[in-house]
Amino acid sequence: MSGEFTYFRKYIILKNNYTNIEGIKPKGHGKIEVKGVKGTVNLSVENCEPYGDYRVYFLRDINGQIKEYDLGRIIIDERGRTRTDINFNVRDLDSIGFAMNRINAILIGKDRKILLNGYMDKDDGTVDRFVKQLISEKEVEQKQDSEPIQEVEEKTEDLSIEENPEESVDMDQVEQLEDDFETKGVEEYVEIEETVDAEEAVEIEEAIEPEETEEDMESEEIVEEVEELEEAIESEKITEEVVELEKTQEVDEIEEEPIVDKGLDYQSLEYIRQLNHKNQMTDYILSILRFFPYVDPFKIYLHGYSWWQIEDCNTDLHKGFLPYYNYLMSTDYRHSTINNSITCIDLIRKYGHYIFGMYKEQKEVKYYLYGVPGKFIIEEHPFKGTTGFNTWYESKDGLGYWILYIDPMTGKVIRIINPMIPEY
């Protein structure tokens, strides 16, 4: 974007005319706002796949080639919705040829899957050309992947076994071969196999190969079915047939330790979705927090906790960039005690910052945490504890923080058993 722009705002209606994801009809809208060198893309999307994640791109036609700029990722909640703000620097875009007045379109997708798209001004065919470009790239990749296979097939066809009919097989040698195989094992048999006629060797091998019992075949079938079940769980494609197989199959017939434990929660499709959502959300949070200082604010050491400090830069606090920021706003609560108590935003503005944290057990994230600065007194107890800020730790500067615990699997506030409430 060139220097003449000091303020820019554009509303975009997102369309699903290029959506190639089955089973959904997404819709949404967006707003792009630029103030000086700071820009924000505000997206509101719904009717998507629950617990999914997508990338947001700016598109620009440069000499007939559609180039893309990756703005960042959006996370879809359990209802298939998201409201996300993505920040960008105008100078960074200018440096790579993506000035705001030259960007043609915005697109939301992932791995050649297109969710929604919209144009900055008018429909100039940029998205259509970009889709054709993706199709062409895919065809080229498929062609490149198939070429090595064809070469191997051609070379295989050229190979032929040259047989010399004049050569004869020494039967004494064959008999000795059988004895050696029984006494010395398979390895020595393979070493001298080349000296034996192919048909005779096959007959010998069939004669000495032990017959597979019916019990062994049943055991192998059970193992194969259990392995298929494991693969289905790992790929999140558990079907009713696989679940029914798991219930009816007698895995106990295998003497080895069971491969699948029927009592574990990971067999629940809902649990798998929540787990994937948590992992995606954690990656998203960490990608943001790397721009903020890592701190150790408390007077006592809290094992397993990690904290980052976010400064209040006099921005609009109603637009938080971290997930579950609405718990600081407490817009979902309508209670008389809230109207007469201090809010989280009041405390953040008073002390100039807040903290965000994670609690881990054995490298697994168990809780997301928001920390609001404040003293252990009634006058600085956020919402008087009605929204969940009922844990307080003293900080090294003698102040302290009120902590809110959030379950990363469900996104719900954890209500602690023994709340820390100041005396009234």
Cα separation values, 133 from 63, 94, 127, 138, Å: 14, 24, 10, 9
Distances (CA, A) of 241 to 23, 151, 237, 374: 21, 40, 11, 55
* pLDDT less than 70: residues of the chain: 1-6, 145-267, 313-320, 330-339, 424
- In the prediction, which pLDDT does 337 show? 53
Looking at residue 180, what is its pLDDT?
A: 55
Strands (E), 198-304: 294-295
User: What's the pLDDT at 310?
Assistant: 92
Is the pTM value of this prediction over 0.75?
no
| pLDDT at residue 135, rounded to an integer | 85
CB atoms within 10 A of CB 45: 23
**Helices marked H in 296-410 — which ranges?**
326-329, 336-339, 344-351
Residue 404's pLDDT is what? 96
Are the beta carbons of 46 and 28 closer than 8 angstroms? yes
- pLDDT tens digit sequence for 266-275: 457 888 888 8
Q: For 319-348, how does the pLDDT look when each residue is reduced to its tens digit (9 = 90+)?
A: 567 888 888 876 444 444 556 789 999 999
Closest to 232 (Cα-Cα) out of 240, 364, 21, 409:
240
User: Measured over all CA atoms, what is the biggest interatomic distance in the chain, rounded to whole angstroms?
Assistant: 109
Q: Note the pLDDT of residue 189.
A: 41
